[in-house]
Structure 1
Amino acid sequence: MSKAYEKVDQVLNAETCWVGANRLSIESLEKVLYGNAKVGLTAQTWQELNSGHEFLKDFADDKVIYGVNTGFGPMAPYKIPDDKHLELQLNLIRSHCSGSGKLVSETQTRGLMIARLSSLAKGYSGIHPEWAELLVKLINANVNPHIYEHGGLGASGDLVQLAHLALCLIGEGKVRIDGEDKPAAAVFAQQNWQPLLPRIREALAVLNGTSAMTGYGAVNVIRARRLLEWSELSSALLIEIVGSYDDYYSEELNGVKAHAGQQQAASRLREILLGSKRLRDRSDHLYRAHENKRLDDKVQEYYSIRCLPQIMGPILDTLVDAQKTVEDELNSVSDNPIIDYRNENVFHGGNFHGDYVSLSMDKLKIAITKLSLLIERQLNYLLNDKLNQQLPPFVNMGTLGLNLGMQGAQFVATSTASENQSLCSPVYIHTIPSNNDNQDIVSMGANAALMANRVIENTFEILGVKLLTAVQAVDALGIQDALAPATRNLYDSVRKLVPAFSQDAIMYESTHAVVNLLSDTDPRTITNHDGNKKSFN
């Protein structure tokens, strides 16, 4: 191995995420995407990358290998002369930089880059180690290539999205750094980085894989987990507003249903509600003699309150399954062909096909849509005085008729929940042949992940409206001091941003503030709780 690649393990900071060396988890990825952790490659990984590259150079000398000395896709029967190999790789990058639509978020872009680095770092792609090295530099410096929403079919990999990543690696195209869009060449010059020229098949190695859908999918799992935890907190607050009976969430009731998600959902509600003075024991109110034919106490609550474990349990189970699928893909080699220097062979196949992630994102999207409908019904319960029978209409703490309370905000929540329903058509089955029918059945995995992301972000907006309504309800009832410590922290966090109000004002300023709180804050900082994190391992 050349001296330039005699790398040694270097701890970049206390939470370095060693890509390729160990199984990459959603938790470690979260520390890079939302924390201060850096990515790094161990000395062993550098050695394996170099070994794979050197093997391919020798092995390909007198053989026909796809993408090394052939055209691509339906053009594979055309043999490429030795003096055109570099031009072939550059042509692949530039011709496939055809993305359109909006740029994906910087977080999604970083997820994509880490996912691609993880696949390449397994040592089965035949790349020169400098390609991995430059990827590490981009990720750690938060330099994000322009990646567009519309592009690849997720079958020969996320070709178009990853072409835009490769374009950056050769010093072309645009990147975003420190909130500004700049030419990649200018940023490279500023950072004293050298653009790369592809050897043998590096361009194909970067393009050919599931890393866009996987990176987006990893962000979705992180965001969906946080959304579900916020939903647990806000549902617990609703339980207290109602003054619910506690047996709905009891271990005894939920323990006889043999679903792990339901049992955990009930356990989390019990944990959040510890210390609450608002829960009622059925024995104190109903398990005694009653003379009146019509009871003053409601025997059972509406399903959006009573059936929380049964509704949130399947959502939790779906999220656990999505995390496993995305983690498995993060730790896979999604390349073609596979350069196996260990067995001294090259294997052609279809590891670039994204069906696993596509189907998983569809299931996650459906589950989160159901969560958004649950939240919307809980909101409606709070706003409809005929249902809750204890709050003013629309939780209006001003003058009825003159003031409107949360009335206008409900329209936003309802319309956004409806949009989620419209987005729930499965992408996994929407295969359309392309590429001269070479790609005759495709996954559309990146589309599936982006649509799931839209549903997740929509649901944050719906939850923001519901949470603001809930804290208004707490003030209307004057029950702040009776709340559990966890829900009181939630109440206080919202009230720091939006004080209680009785007079009408510009509503979006308040709802946006709450949505931003939910979107930008890890809910575990509110509850001082780490238990849910363990359940997603």
Structure 2
Amino acid sequence: MELDGTGLTCAQVHEVAHGGARVTIGSPDRARTAWLAAQQLTGPVYGQTTGVGANKDVDVDEGGLDLLRSHAGGAGPLVSEERARAMLVVRLNQLLAGGSGIDPRILPVLAEAINSGHTPPIRTYGAIGTGDLTALATTALCLLGEKEWQGPHYPLASGDALPFISSGAATLADAALAVHAITALFEAAIEVAVRSFLAVEASPEPFAQAVQLGEGQAHVASRLRAVLQASGARVQDPYGYRAFARVHGAAIEVARRAGQVVETDMNAAAENPLIADGLAWHNGNFHAAGVALALDSLRAAVAQTAQLSAARLATLMEPAYTGRLPFLAGKPGGSGAMILEYVAQDALAELRHLATPVTTGTAVISRGTEDHASFATQAARYALRCVEPLEIVLACELVAATEDLGADRPLDGDLDMARRLLRAESP
């Protein structure tokens, strides 16, 4: 997979993080141009000739490495190797986009770390959506040999310190992994819903071409039209069936938009200062407000999709819809699939909690000089946490819609198998 600073996708981040795909480096010309320009700068340059944050007006001399040491202060458990590897991929791609002013000799070193499978020990807590300073400072100290890791070393210069850490790469990496996984589950959810439609002989009438209003809705409806046959069972089904294309189509559109927002930032030189046209442009493009808003919407869409899945699961417990015994039991009075509703509602409760928007909060730090925060870091972290409970809700529906349960028995193995099937159906 060649990285060139322009075409990195959420799916590619997933492939490197989870699939072991290797990376190569495209042309470093833009990074080299910015580095050469940075050597010629005169006057105050934030983080180079000045301190950072509230120390922006304080002149400093060769204080960059101290900046790394002071900012490598995260807390909590280490993030997974997959998430740390994804961060390295995103940051390498951003540096290839040019604009940081960093020495381009760091680029193959980062590629070596990715391809050798070595990841820095990044802590969970330490960012609020205005730059992943703790994660990237920790990574820089690993490269310098001041923190233990098995990856390559590189003697970062003082002037490379802020250019290396001025990024939201860890947040974007989490966001890319979450968008990819949730998008895949949204597609798998259509196949799960088809099983429920067939099980209750739901009407295909809501999916006629004449009814469709939007791109996402039309996509879902076309998938259902391809497998459902005309049925005269009911004039109108519950919303879990009748409104499925409308609701789930909207969720798919939200996921597509979230992917576009994340990929835009992964392929942008959102550096502060940005080295361009021979000058240092001080700016706030590290602020991830757009990502936070997109991921707030995505988590709300996840909750809506799961709610409709749980609603269809409820109809599968009803003889009026299935023509079978209550709870799909094998004999009168049996519990059958009853427990699946408890499991699904537990997971759904988790999703409702995770859907709470982060963008309604803010923070004022560094003696008031940084007076707003996007909390995109939290939005991405919560989006990643949505993957498991969404998969569980869909697995509950899948088990109820497709299996002949017969005699009462434990269903945990069935749910595990259903979750594996959902992953297999995901691209």
Q: Greater CA deviation, 106-115 or 22-31?
A: 22-31
Question: Shift in Å at residue 52 of structure 1?
Answer: 2.3
Q: 2:317 aligns with which of 383, 388, 399?
A: 383
Matched residues in 1 for 2:59 and 2:115: separation? 39
The answer to whether the aligner puts 1:141 opposite 2:116 as a matched pair is yes
Residues 107-122 of structure 1 correspond to what in structure 2 (within 5 A)?
A: 107-122=82-97
Q: 2:416 aligns with which of 512, 523, 533?
A: 512
Q: In structure 2, what is the equivalent of residue 373 of structure 1?
A: 307
The residue type equivalent to 1:504 in the other structure is: R
The answer to whether the aligner puts 1:337 opposite 2:273 as a matched pair is yes
**Secondary structure, aligned partner of 1:113:** helix
Distance 1:23 1:416, change over 3 A: same
Matched residues in 2 for 1:321 and 1:98: separation? 34
Q: In structure 2, what is the equivalent of residue 131 of structure 1?
A: 106
Q: In structure 1, what is the equivalent of residue 31 of structure 2?
A: 49
Matched residues in 1 for 2:138 and 2:53: separation? 19
**Highest CA radius of gyration, 1 or 2?**
1
The answer to whether the aligner puts 1:412 opposite 2:343 as a matched pair is yes
Q: In structure 1, what is the equivalent of residue 139 of structure 2?
A: 165
Question: Shift in Å at residue 354 of structure 1?
Answer: 0.8
Question: Shift in Å at residue 375 of structure 1?
Answer: 1.1
Matched residues in 2 for 1:320 and 1:161: separation? 28
Contact kept in structure 2, 1:158 and 1:211, CA below 8 Å: yes
Distance 1:501 1:389, change over 3 A: closer
Q: 1:40 aligns with which of 7, 11, 24?
A: 24
Q: Greater CA deviation, 228-237 or 90-99?
A: 90-99
Q: Percent identity?
A: 26
The residue type equivalent to 1:392 in the other structure is: L
Question: Shift in Å at residue 309 of structure 1?
Answer: 0.9
Deviations 1:25-51 (A, max 9, x none): 334434434445322212x32x33233
**Secondary structure, aligned partner of 2:77:** strand
Q: In structure 1, what is the equivalent of residue 230 of structure 2?
A: 280
Deviations 1:207-236 (A, max 9, x none): 211212211111111111111011000001
CA RMSD of aligned residues (A): 2.1
The answer to whether the aligner puts 1:268 opposite 2:223 as a matched pair is yes
The residue type equivalent to 2:218 in the other structure is: Q
Contact kept in structure 2, 1:361 and 1:448, CA below 8 Å: yes
Equivalenced residue count is 427
Matched residues in 2 for 1:356 and 1:71: separation? 27
The residue type equivalent to 2:302 in the other structure is: I
The answer to whether the aligner puts 1:218 opposite 2:202 as a matched pair is no
Q: 1:352 aligns with which of 286, 292, 298?
A: 286
Distance 1:391 1:162, change over 3 A: farther
Deviations 1:319-339 (A, max 9, x none): 111111111111111211011
The residue type equivalent to 2:387 in the other structure is: I
Matched residues in 1 for 2:155 and 2:406: separation? 61
Q: Greater CA deviation, 144-153 or 311-320?
A: 144-153
Matched residues in 2 for 1:249 and 1:146: separation? 50
Residues 297-316 of structure 1 correspond to what in structure 2 (within 5 A)?
A: 297-316=233-252
Q: In structure 1, what is the equivalent of residue 407 of structure 2?
A: 502
Deviations 1:440-465 (A, max 9, x none): 01111111111122223211111112
Distance 1:262 1:105, change over 3 A: same
Contact kept in structure 2, 1:382 and 1:391, CA below 8 Å: no
Q: In structure 2, what is the equivalent of residue 289 of structure 1?
A: none
Q: 1:437 aligns with which of 368, 391, 394?
A: 368
The residue type equivalent to 2:391 in the other structure is: F
Question: Shift in Å at residue 102 of structure 1?
Answer: 3.1
Gaps in structure 2 of 5+ consecutive residues: none
| Larger RCO (CA under 8 A, 6+ residues apart) | 2
Distance 1:30 1:262, change over 3 A: same
The residue type equivalent to 1:330 in the other structure is: M
Matched residues in 1 for 2:375 and 2:348: separation? 24
Q: In structure 2, what is the equivalent of residue 80 of structure 1?
A: 60
Deviations 1:185-221 (A, max 9, x none): xx14xxxx3x223224322122211212211111111
Contact kept in structure 1, 2:316 and 2:400, CA below 8 Å: yes
The residue type equivalent to 2:46 in the other structure is: Y
Question: Shift in Å at residue 389 of structure 1?
Answer: 4.6
Contact kept in structure 1, 2:202 and 2:234, CA below 8 Å: no
Matched residues in 1 for 2:194 and 2:114: separation? 39
The residue type equivalent to 1:333 in the other structure is: A
Q: 1:67 aligns with which of 36, 47, 56?
A: 47
Matched residues in 2 for 1:332 and 1:225: separation? 23
Matched residues in 2 for 1:516 and 1:146: separation? 30
Matched residues in 1 for 2:111 and 2:375: separation? 28
The residue type equivalent to 1:215 in the other structure is: A
Matched residues in 2 for 1:376 and 1:172: separation? 51
Gaps in structure 1 of 5+ consecutive residues: 1-15, 174-182, 286-296, 476-499, 525-537
The residue type equivalent to 2:139 in the other structure is: L
Q: 2:70 aligns with which of 83, 88, 95?
A: 95
Matched residues in 1 for 2:422 and 2:56: separation? 50
Q: In structure 1, what is the equivalent of residue 185 of structure 2?
A: 227
TM-score by length of 1: 0.75
